[in-house]
Amino acid sequence: MGQFNEYMDRFDFSVFKEIFIEKGKIRHYKKNEYFLHKGDKHTYIGFIIEGTFRYTCIDNNGNEHVVAYNFPNEPLGNYSVFQKKESAIVDIQAVTDSTVYVLSHSDVNEFYNSNMEAQQQGRILAEELLYVAWNNIISAYKDTPEKRYRELLQRCPNLPNLITLKELASYIMVTPETLSRIRKRILFE
């Protein structure tokens, strides 16, 4: 079984984890508490020790959409917005009680500027995040919802036990009813 976030299988986060442990501050988040609200300045980034977070956005009709999840031993935050010191474009909310190491923008950039290896790690992280985002966009256009669901279950078979059917449906961009039909079809294969 692979990771939910595929880049975690290809990228060694041990260097980042060390800097979070060394310089970060531990913060605890209760279930449904926000790590970041849409519109807030994104001045810190996290590394999840325990817990799960969801990223959501609201469309023009007021519907909430789940666009990403993060789990233990993964970075937490909207990296591109964080690096540009812009306002958050998504809400990031704890799905479970969670513990996170948090680093400021200046601490992260101090790390990147400390040596060539750190700069390379930052570049590779940015490349991996871009790769995942691009593949998710392409998958939304070319793959069926059933294929997206099956691939998600291959990467993270326990996911349906962690989140609601409604959230899972939102993540693969279908209605809960459509996801129920997909699950039923798979069950009877």
Model pLDDT, residue 9: 55
Model pLDDT, residue 6: 53
Amino acid type, 82: F
Model pLDDT, residue 1: 38
Model pLDDT, residue 157: 81
Model pLDDT, residue 17: 79
| Per-residue CA distances from 15 to 18, 21, 36, 59, 96 (Å) | 5, 10, 24, 37, 26
How would you write the pLDDT of the chain (189 residues) with one tens digit per residue?
Answer: 345 445 445 556 677 778 888 999 999 999 999 999 999 988 899 999 999 899 999 999 999 999 988 888 888 988 878 888 889 999 999 999 999 999 998 998 898 888 888 888 888 878 877 887 888 889 889 999 999 999 888 877 888 888 899 999 999 999 999 999 999 998 888
Model pLDDT, residue 119: 85
Model pLDDT, residue 2: 45
Q: Count H helices and E strands in the chain, helices first.
A: 9, 8
Model pLDDT, residue 13: 65
Across the chain, the runs of DSSP E, i.e. the strands, are: 25-29, 34-36, 44-50, 53-58, 64-70, 75-76, 91-94, 98-104
Element (H, E) at 10: helix 7-10
Looking at the DSSP bridge assignments, the partners of residue 49 are none
Q: Contact at 8 Å (CB) between 173 and 140?
A: yes
Residue 158 DSSP SS3:
coil
